[in-house]
Amino acid sequence: MADTGIFATTAEVQRKAGAGASATSNTEAYINDFMAQAESEINCITRYNWSDNYAALNSDVKAILKEAASNLAAIYVIQFDMSGFTSRTEAENMINVLRDGYLRVLSVLVESKVQTFMVDA
């Protein structure tokens, strides 16, 4: 099976999910599904189809989409099964950090001036 995500790779999500992530949810098949969901959510929230225009974007601006999608997908990986972490608190702290990063990026991506910059860069 190959990566099917557009914004981020399986390896990028796995790094963010951490060493305690479930052996089931931290696989390419699950992460491909989580990435599809994350990318669709980002497209809907920002009201711009980044997926269709991704290849035309400058490499400098693609990283912000990678950050948002990999953060959300890593949250899905972690929440699937938190038993591999040293404590539930550790897993929840990781989710909180990833969530904060995801929401920070989304707050930027919803601005039309940022979208124009990214498309025109």
Interatomic CA distance for residues 3 and 31, integer angstroms: 9
Contact of 66 with 42, CB cutoff 8 Å: no
Detail the DSSP E strand segments found in the chain. Answer: none
Query: Chunked in runs of 10, what are the mean pLDDT values of the chain (121 residues)?
Result: 93 97 97 98 97 93 96 98 97 98 97 94 85
pTM of the prediction? 0.95
Distances (CA, A) of 9 to 23, 46, 80: 17, 21, 19
Interatomic CA distance for residues 27 and 104, integer angstroms: 27
User: Which backbone phi and psi does 48 adopt, to 5 degrees?
Assistant: -145, 135
Domain positions in the chain: 10-120
What confidence score (pLDDT) does residue 1 get? Answer: 75
What confidence score (pLDDT) does residue 121 get? Answer: 85
Structure-token pair, residue 47 = 């009201």
